[in-house]
Amino acid sequence: MTVLRHTNGNIGGVNPLQYVFREDVQSFSVNPVTRSGLITLKTGKSWNYLYATDETISCSTKEEKTTSGMKYTVEIKMLIPKDRLDVEVLLWNLNTRHLIINLADKNGISRFYGTMQSPMKKVANLVKPANVEGYNGWELVFTGLFTEPPAYFLYSYGGGIIAPPAGT
């Protein structure tokens, strides 16, 4: 197999993420050959969005060979500005939920993090530094452990990335 030089630019950065609760998913299929996936939501359900301070969302996927096969550990970090009641209530409601995350980068490539069998989990920390210039708000971390790498969103390569609501 050959990896060829990429076309177009290679812009860094990640867009605000979107998530859906596992129980709101009608179907989630992944083509094992192309690693592309498609999620259909149940009637009346939609993607939810999380705003983060510009350039604070990061995502890492680590491969690890184990005795039971390859494992993929995913960690998504983001900073949500300001200590706010509405944010805390929303984050608190995510504590026991099973999440599937759709994360698009600035190149327009989108991947699904989490599966029906192994959803993502959330941990949040409120950060209030002593100095005025420091960051004030929520540090949010999503983690997951999988047997396959995250699937590409099927429509990433032809437009059709799920659009955020106006103003995000």
Tokens of 44: 């009346």
Structural domain boundaries of the chain? 17-156
pLDDT tier at 2 (50, 70, 90 boundaries)? low
Q: Is the pLDDT of residue 165 over 80?
A: no
Residue 166: pLDDT band by 50, 70, 90 thresholds? low
Within 13 Å and on the Cβ side, how many CA atoms surround 16? 17
